[in-house]
Chain A
Amino acid sequence: MFKAFGSFIHKTPWWAMVAGGLLVLIGLVMFAVPIQVIRLHDSGATPQERKAIDREINLAFGDTALNFAEDVVRAMRERAHDPDRQRELDHALSEIARAKKELSAAQTDVSRAARESAQESADAALEAALEAADAALDAAVEARQAVEEARDDALALLKNRGLDFSATAASFDAMLKTARDNEKAAREALQSIKTLRQDKAAAERPAAEAPTPEKSKHSGIHIQIPASPSVTPLPDGLRGEIRSKVGGDVWRIGVGSALILAFIPLFVLLLISKYFIGRSRRALAVAEEKTEQAQLSELSRQITEARLQALQAQVEPHFLYNTLANVQALTEVDASAAHRMVGHLIAYLRASLPKMREHTSTVGQELELVRAYLNILQMRMGERLQFAVDVPSVLLDKPFPPMMLPSLVENAIKHGLEPLREGGRIDVLVTQITTPAGERIRVQVRDSGKGLGEAATPGGGVGLTNVRERLAALYGDKAQFCIESNSPRGVVASIEIPTELPAAAPTAAAGAARAASAGAASAPASATAPASPWRRVVHLGSQSHSVWVQVVSRILAVLMVLLCGAFVLALVGLYTGWMPVQVGDLRLDGVEGMALGSVGLLAGFGVVALAILFVVAVLYGLGFFLAALLLLIPLVILVSIFPVAAPFILIALAIYWSVRRRNRKLP
């Protein structure tokens, strides 16, 4: 999973990572913006309304903070035992209570202010109404007088002409009556406004509306007192909405800022880890390339050796001549034995010589070869060799790579039995075994000879190496080759191969070609110590530096681990209540204790971690400083004694030179 994550990070391009990080950051910032509150703030239609909403928002914030503080202090107060402390906390509580009162007072202030402003405007309206009413009265009086004059004039005129004026007089009277009514109404209105103004209670009523006097038809004066503004108490629904929205925003601000705080270091960490993952992946690629080259060269080497091996005569001259010597000797003393031996030799040669050109053989053929070989040796070694070959007949026809089994038997004779005066026995066992990987043939050559422990060297093991490499070339990792000590003594060599022959080493040719194309693989420099003294000094310096870095980084790691352990322990203690939180001499437990304790622990952790980092950084620098001093001091000494030493050095040089000259002249 980590690997998948690592490769994901590795594959993401830098620009995408940075852009993604910035986007996430912007998203988080957007999330943390108290958008509801801002929207609320802008929702007011008039400045007064906006002001009121602002106040309400502030109040809501203040309320939330005060409530929390009060809860905490009250909890502390409940657990406080020391009277001084209690008094202090009581004081704090009363302060909080006062703050709350002030806050609510501010709230009522808002309403009062609204009311005052309403009153002011009502007064103004009354004043205006009064004036209007005055004007209306004046107008009504003038209108009545005008009607009276007009009636008098009209009646006099009619009377002069001798016309009947009764109808006209009646209509004028009606008009006059209306005018008088108007005048009376205006007067009444004026009166009522005046009483209204005098009546203080009227001011108490919010949104007081001045009575609109009935206007005279003629004057057309229209008086309206402005409606009182809605600054005063917001409707309860709106207030509730504001409270809940502020609550939501407070939560989002909290969560959002916590996320931002967590995200920024994480993001930085991600970038750093991307950098290092990139570095390590590149190193890995280099290592893989080198490994591949090594494998290719190794494979081609194996193939070449296997071919060489196949070309070499398998029959050892030493074996052949010794056998022939025996045959020769036997012809003189025991002709039939000589005949038998020659028969075995013929069988051996016949079985082994064509093998060099063949790619495969069978278990049966290989065992024939082994039998012929062992028969010859038994005749030669006499009592010193016993052997047995055990094979189920079903396996005789199974394919088996040529000349491997004889190699093992020869090895057992040469390194196991021959060095022993008493000789021993050899058992060749062929069995079929079933493994999870399928049916396999196992061939074991067990000897009771000298064993691995006493063998002088593992004989260079050229024969064994050949067997191993040929097996690897033929079967890859599907074949097994194992050489172990036998009990009570001797060696067991076993080969395990799949029952079915693999496709004839297809990888070999391709591998060789690739190895060739890979060309001269840069031989990696072996890690040898640098030669010159100066280089040795530098080498030593770098080594001591690395030791220093190691020491410092180990100290850092140990301290950090200890710190983390302490932190975790403290947290566990805190949450299980095993370690109570103590503020002064006041014990806190419960949720408040946990919250306060966690914050305290976190802060402490950060401070101590920073301190450790600082100290380690100083130590690290100190290492460089000391190293520089170590280098500098001898240098300074050398330079300072140079003037004194210079004549001696010159003399020494002169002596050296003259000696050399003399030496050169001597011969």
Chain B
Amino acid sequence: MSITAVIAEDEPILRAQLKAKLARLWPQLRIVADVGDGEAALQAIEEHQPDLAFLDIQMPEMTGVEVARSLASNPQHKCHLVFVTAFDQYAVQAFEADAVDYVLKPYSDERLQATVERLQARIGQGAAAPAQDLQALMARLSATLAPQAQPLRWIKASVGQNLRLIAIDDVLFFQSDEKYTLVATADCDALIRTPIKEILEGIDPARFWQIHRSTIVNVAAVEAVTRDFRGQATVKVRGRKENLSVSRPFSHLFKQM
């Protein structure tokens, strides 16, 4: 029984090259499917139950890591995974610690030869892919590949029919009612569904002050602060007509230093 493999690589030239090289270095290997995106890769693996899968990491629809995670959650699969990836320092560090194979693009024939030999040895021993380790590895990998939790810099908001990305620094103030949060900038009013509380978690508290249960104001945009006879402060924002009231728990923000 011949050994089967699935190749998943979104760039056609590289896909063809890998296919050609494998055919030359490992003639017994039967490539049952070569696909261009993550979803197709998962489908092909489920369908053909190959012994090997060569997965690119950056792919449309699903990344290679996601495909691997989904496979690892199903212990029936005995598919050995080989990641084929371009230079990515963190991912490489993650791979090096574990028994999963990886090939760094661009690769030489020798490098691929070594991988092929290792795979042949492992399949010869009848060793299954270490599902448990794979799960942990993939979790770590997705953590390193996922974008770091960045402070909120852009807000995706709808302006009329359109969606627009609004830079957080352009926002003059946020004001929420029951359903929506108004994102007010100098030239438009946009709406988002994120409540004030969640916005607060993502923004720089030095530049955005909460002045009311339902209002956050950009400090740099404050034009005037007025107080009425009860000491109730209202904030006027540059370029806007609104007067935002400062509720008492937040009024210390505008006290004199």
Stretch of B121-129, B173-181, B218-226 on the interface side: B218-226
- A666 nearest CB across to chain B (Å): 35
Pick from B40, B107, B154, B247 the residue with the most CB of A within 10 Å: B154
- Contact: A286 with B254, CB < 8 Å? yes
Q: Are B248 and A324 in contact (CB under 8 A)?
A: no
A543 adjacent to chain B (CB < 8 Å): yes
Taking a contact as CB atoms under 8 Å apart, the answer to whether A280 and B13 are in contact is: no
Does A360 have its Cβ within 8 Å of any Cβ on chain B?
Answer: no
The answer to whether residues A294 and B219 also contact, given A461-B165, A546-B247 and a CB cut-off of 8 A, is yes
Segment among A399-407, A417-425, A507-515 that sits at the interface with chain B? A417-425
Which residues of chain A are near B87, meaning CB under 8 Å? 317-318, 320-321
Q: Are B256 and A286 in contact (CB under 8 A)?
A: yes
Interface pair B248/A542, CB less than 8 Å apart: yes
A522 to B257: give the CA distance in the assembly, Å: 10
Taking CB atoms, residues of chain A closer than 8 Å to B12 are 382
Q: Are A421 and B36 in contact (CB under 8 A)?
A: yes
A-chain residues with CB within 8 Å of residue B155 when the two chains form the complex: 458
**B61 with A543: CB separation less than 8 A:** no
Interface residues in B1-53 (C-beta closer than 8 Å to A): 10-14, 16-17, 20, 36-37, 39-40
B225 touches A465 (CB 8 A): no
Q: Give every chain A residue within 8 A of B229 (Cβ-Cβ).
A: 272, 276
List residues of B (181-206) whose CB comes within 8 Å of A's CBs: 205-206
Contacts of B226 in A (CB 8 A): 280, 283-284
Q: Distance (Å) between the CB of A582 and the closest chain B CB?
A: 38
**Cβ of A620 to closest chain B Cβ, rounded Å:** 10
Q: How many residues of B contact A (CB 8 A)?
A: 65
Select A286's contact among B163, B169, B255, beta carbons within 8 Å. B255
Contact A457 B105 (CB under 8 A): no
**When chains A and B are docked, how far (Å) is the Cα of A457 from the Cα of B155?**
10
- Tell me if B253 is interfacial: C-beta within 8 Å of chain A: yes
Q: Which residues of A contact B227 (CB under 8 A)?
A: 276, 279-280, 283
B244 contact set on A, CB distance < 8 A: none
Is B100 an interface residue, CB under 8 A from the partner?
no
With A283-B254, A294-B219, A322-B11 as contacts: A484 and B61 at CB distance below 8 Å: no
Known A-B contacts A333-B16, A484-B163; A527 and B253 likewise in contact (beta carbons under 8 Å): yes
Chain A residues with CB under 8 Å of B210's CB are 526-527
Cβ contact within 8 Å between A465 and B86: no
| Min distance, Cβ B112 to any Cβ of chain A, angstroms | 12
Distance between B208 CB and nearest chain A CB, rounded to angstroms:
9
In A340-385, which residues have CB < 8 Å from any B CB? 379-382, 384
A329 CB contact (under 8 Å) in B13, B37, B220: B13
Chain B residue, CB-CB nearest to A319: B86
Residues facing A in B28-86 (CB within 8 A) are 36-37, 39-40, 58, 60-61, 86
Whether a CB of chain A sits under 8 angstroms from the CB of B153 is: yes
Any A CB within 8 A of the CB of B150: yes
- Give A338's nearest chain B residue, CB to CB: B13
Q: Are A333 and B17 in contact (CB under 8 A)?
A: yes
Partner of B249, one of A481, A482, A484, A539: A539
Q: Tell me if B17 and A452 are in contact (CB < 8 A).
A: no
A462 within 8 A of B: yes
> Are B222's CB and A291's CB within 8 A?
yes
Q: Within 8 Å CB of A91, what residues of B?
A: none
In the complex, A282 Cα to B227 Cα: how many Å?
10
Residues of A within 8 A of B205 (CB): 524, 526
B150 — nearest CB in chain A belongs to which residue?
A460
B153: chain A residues within 8 A (beta carbon): 458, 460-462, 464-465
Contact A542 B249 (CB under 8 A): yes
- Report whether A543 and B162 are in contact in the complex, using a CB–CB cutoff of 8 Å: no
Q: Which residue of A lies closest to B15 (CB)?
A: A329
- Chain B residues near A379 (CB, 8 Å)? 13
A298 on interface, CB distance cutoff 8 Å? yes
Shortest beta-carbon distance from B139 to chain A in Å: 18
Contact residues of A between 460 and 498, Cβ < 8 Å to B:
460-462, 464-465, 468, 481-485
The chain B residue with its CB closest to the CB of A279 is B227
**B17–A527 CB distance below 8 A:** no
Residues of B with C-beta under 8 A to A484: 159, 162-165
- Asked whether B13 lies within 8 Å of A380 as measured between CB atoms, the reply is yes
Distance, CA A654 to CA B160, complexed state (A): 68
> Do A452 and B105 touch across chains, with their CB atoms under 8 A apart?
no
A485 to chain B: which residues have CB within 8 Å?
162-164
A540 to chain B, nearest CB (A): 10
C-alpha gap A329/B219 in the complex (Å):
55
Instruction: Give every chain A residue within 8 A of B159 (Cβ-Cβ).
Output: 484
Bound form: Cα–Cα A484–B159 in Å = 9
- How far, in whole Å, are A459 and B154 apart by their CA atoms in the complex? 9
Q: With A276-B229, A294-B220, A421-B36 in contact, is A322–B86 under 8 Å at CB? A: yes
Contact (A284, B225) CB under 8 Å given A326-B14, A419-B60: yes
Q: Is the CB of B230 within 8 A of A329?
A: no
Contacts of B14 in A (CB 8 A): 322, 325-326, 329, 380
In whole Å, how far is A303's beta carbon from the nearest beta carbon of chain B? 14
CB neighbours (8 Å) of A549 from chain B are 230, 248
Nearest CB of chain A from residue B227's CB, rounded to whole Å: 5
Known: A325-B106, A458-B156, A483-B154. 18 other contacts (CB 8 A): A284-B226, A287-B224, A297-B206, A321-B104, A326-B14, A329-B14, A329-B16, A418-B60, A458-B155, A460-B147, A460-B150, A461-B150, A465-B154, A485-B163, A522-B257, A525-B253, A539-B249, A546-B249
22 examples of A-B residue contacts, CB within 8 angstroms: A272-B229, A283-B233, A287-B222, A287-B225, A294-B206, A298-B169, A321-B104, A322-B105, A325-B105, A326-B14, A329-B106, A382-B12, A421-B40, A457-B147, A458-B153, A460-B148, A464-B167, A523-B206, A524-B206, A525-B252, A526-B205, A543-B248
